[in-house]
């Protein structure tokens, strides 16, 4: 994500990078790519991203969001899979 986001899973904050805001002054940009684990044992996931970008020419999701097993995602991120 570029350049600040907060992600919620089933109504709870899973992770946050930077501080997403409504304007340049309330946003704190940060770029930190990562693989996140979701430890929910439910049949359905409600995933919500709050993303803001006022500091970079490209904002939002820079690549497709991918879901899968955490180990497979980590291998993909490293270029092993």
Residue 22: the pLDDT is 93
Q: What pTM does this model have?
A: 0.76
Gyration radius of the chain over CA positions = 14
Residue 14: the pLDDT is 94
How are beta strands 47-52 and 4-9 bridged, if at all? antiparallel
- Give the span between the Cα atoms of 25 and 9, in whole angstroms: 27
Average pLDDT across each block of 10 residues of the chain; the chain has 81 residues. List them in order: 89 94 92 83 91 81 80 74 59
Residue 63: the pLDDT is 80
Residue 81: the pLDDT is 59
């Amino acid at each position: 994500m570029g350049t600040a986001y907060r992600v919620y899973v089933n109504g709870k904050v899973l992770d946050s990078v930077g501080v997403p805001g409504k304007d340049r002054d309330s946003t704190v940009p940060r770029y930190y790519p990562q693989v996140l684990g979701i430890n929910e044992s439910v049949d359905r996931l409600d995933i919500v991203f709050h993303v803001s970008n006022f500091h970079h020419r490209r904002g939002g999701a820079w690549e497709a969001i991918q879901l899968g097993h955490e180990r497979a995602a980590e291998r993909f991120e490293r270029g092993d899979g």
